[in-house]
Amino acid sequence: MLWLTGGPGCSVLSAFFYESGPLAFTYVDYNRSIPSLHLNPYTWTQGTSSQSQSSIIPGEGGVPAAVIVVSVVFYFGRGIRHCQEARKGSSTVSSDTRFMTLTMDKFLNDMEREKPIRFTSQQLRIATDNFTNLLGLGGFGSVYKGIFSNGTPVAVKVLHGNSDKRMDEQFMAEVSTIGRVHHLNLVRLFGFCFEKDLRALVYEYMGNGSLDKYLFHENMKLGFENLHEIAVGTARGIAYLHEECQQRIIHYDIKPGNILLDAKFLPKVADFGLAKLCNRENTHVTLTAGRGTPGYAAPEMWMPYPITHKCDIYSFGMLLFEILGRRKNLDTRLEESQEWFPRWVWKKYEHGELGELTIVCGIEAKYRETIERMVKVALWCVQYRPDSRPLMSVVVKMLEGAVEIPTPLNPFQHMLDFAPCPSAPSHPLQTGNSLDSELSTQTVTRSTSISATPLMRNYEIEIEIAST
């Protein structure tokens, strides 16, 4: 095989010698179209002529050999010129037309190597049957089911809204971030589409849909053991986003609808890619617009003050209450005392009446110890002060039963005291009364994660990061 290249991200000339067929040259201009996917830049065809076969083997024909040498020099020189032009040119993404010879199989092979792929709008329209199978609607766009030619099912999220330069740059920067995020409990990004008429993200397809339908529909209930495993897996995914990524990712919208379940009911956090990126050393983040969903969003989310990643922990606590009760936290159909489930749970816990919780929620008495543990974790997570909420890695250990859980404070005391905006210290571990301080001497095992190659490293796009 002969492979000549003009440099990273530039033109490539490849020549392959096959015993069963003739040589085929294919010139591919990398020129920023897919700068870091490392797709094989060739196609080849197999011939049947024995004469053609013998003429391409080095040393078995002077004229063919000369032709090959001349071709190599010509194409290599052309590749260098293209590289020089690319370095002088702008960072605008070029057309994908030169890649139409690449087959879907080559795309899918790269997918298997965990490298996010840039798809064309035509490829996604074919895979989704022109976007006919709608799976659901979300705040960022519509999600459609698609199937690639090898039978791989995917979920294609088509993003809504008018495109402008800033939005486009942020989209590409965040896709690059998702490309570095691989974890068992996070929905995997297969690729993306970034064209004038279509901006889309291509995710793995989750066969059992979102968690909300198993919590709020009578005919689709899951067993308590399954629900506990879903709670632990979700906590692991959030812990990875907060504590193990190169840049902390704050989700801002943890809720049952954003927890997806695969065919084996393994939970995976979804919709984290368009969340806020921030330096892990930076404690506070300022939002320019409201985020979150009422009923799950932390109190500080609705106030004009800097917030921290502890807002996700509050949302997880509210999610945990709904997992325990297998009902919505706010249900106006019930009597007033049970209307808001979290406060009702606190009263039962405060008076040592958790046995009533198992009866109301239809949970077997043998799970009493696990229920109490989940209740205490939920109560710590929804503390009014952000610094009183534990880190997600600590939440994982508490749910797993690896650490003892201190007695939680009343998280709803502020409703009686008319407390002002919740304050946060300069660092979440600097308060003597925080749960993190109490558990800081205990070992916390990091979540299982998979390393991945960063995506689109050659794009000159600024990621919006809070300054330290």
**255-274 per-position pLDDT tens digit:** 999 999 999 999 999 876 55
Residue 425 confidence class, pLDDT cut points 50, 70, 90: very low
For residue 352, count CB atoms less than 10 angstroms from its CB and return exposed for 0-12, middle for 13-18, buried for 19 or more: exposed
Which residue did the predictor score with more confidence, 333 or 437?
333
3-class DSSP string for the chain: CEEEECCCCCEEEEECCECCECCCCEEEECCCCCCCCCCCCCCCCCCCCHHHHHHCCCCCCHHHHHHHHHHHHHHHHHHHHHHHHHHHCCCCCCCCHHHCCCCHHHHHHHHHCCCCEECCHHHHHHHCCCCCCEEEECCCEEEEEEECCCCCEEEEEEECCCCCHHHHHHHHHHHHHHHHCCECCECCEEEEEEECCEEEEEEECCCCCECHHHHHCHHHCCCHHHHHHHHHHHHHHHHHHHHCCCCEEECCCCCHHHEEECCCCCEEECCCCCCEEECCCCCCECCCCCCCCCCCCCHHHHCCCCECCHHHHHHHHHHHHHHHHCCCCECCCCCHHHHEHHHHHHHHHHCCCHHHHHHHCCCCHHHHHHHHHHHHHHHHHCCCCHHHCCCHHHHHHHHHCCCCCCCCCCCCCHHHHCCCCCCCCCCCCCCCCCHHHHHCCCCCCCCCECCCCCCCCCCCCCCCCECC
**Which one has a higher pLDDT value, 211 or 140?**
211
Give the model's confidence band at 166: pLDDT under 50 very low, under 70 low, under 90 confident, else very high.
low
pLDDT score, position 434:
52
Percentage of residues of the chain with pLDDT beyond 70: 56
- 8 Å CB contact between 182 and 451: yes
For the ranges 169-178, 300-309, 381-390, 429-438, the lowest mean pLDDT is seen at 429-438
pLDDT of res. 202? 93
CA 38 to chain centre: 22
* pLDDT at 14 > cutoff 80: no
Catalytic residue among 110, 253, 387, 436: 253
pLDDT of 335: 79
Quick one: pLDDT at residue 141? 80
Report which of residues 162 and 384 the model is more confident about.
Answer: 384
Using the predicted structure, report yes or no on whether residue 318 has a pLDDT greater than 90.
Answer: yes
Are the C-beta atoms of residues 80 and 74 closer than 8 Å to each other?
Answer: no
Q: Which of 39, 108, 115, 37 is nearest to 451 (CA)?
A: 115
| pLDDT given at position 386 | 94
Q: Is 157 annotated as a binding residue?
A: yes
Q: What percent of the chain stands above pLDDT 90?
A: 40
Contact 144, 155 (CB under 8 A): yes
Round to whole Å and give the CA distance between 276 and 440.
27
Instruction: Report the alpha-carbon distance of residue 195 to residue 199 in Å, rounded.
Output: 6
CA–CA gap between residue 75 and residue 6 (Å, rounded): 10
Q: Are 21 and 45 in contact (CB under 8 A)?
A: yes
pLDDT value at position 74?
52
pLDDT band at 306 (very low <50, low <70, confident <90, very high): confident
Compute the mean pLDDT over every residue in the chain, rounded to the nearest whole number.
72
Tell how strand 117-118 and strand 26-29 pair up.
unpaired
- Predicted confidence (pLDDT) at residue 113 exceeds the cutoff of 60: no
- State how far the alpha carbon of 118 is from the alpha carbons of 192, 195, 363, in Å: 5, 10, 47
CA distance 214 to 14: 53
Q: Tell me the average pLDDT across 21-31.
A: 36
Q: 23, 56 in Cβ contact below 8 A?
A: yes
Summarize the confidence of residues 94-102 as an average pLDDT: 44
Active site residue 29: no
Band the pLDDT of 432: cuts 50, 70, 90: very low
At residue 167, the pLDDT reads: 61
Considering 11-15, 226-230, 448-452, the range whose residues carry the highest mean pLDDT is: 226-230
The 10s digit of each residue's pLDDT in 197-250 is 898 989 999 999 999 999 998 888 899 999 999 999 999 999 999 999 888 888
pLDDT tens-place string over residues 351-407: 999 999 999 888 999 999 999 999 999 999 999 999 999 999 999 999 999 999 999
Contact between residue 175 and residue 271 where contact means Cβ atoms under 8 Å apart: no
Res. 44: pLDDT tops 70? no
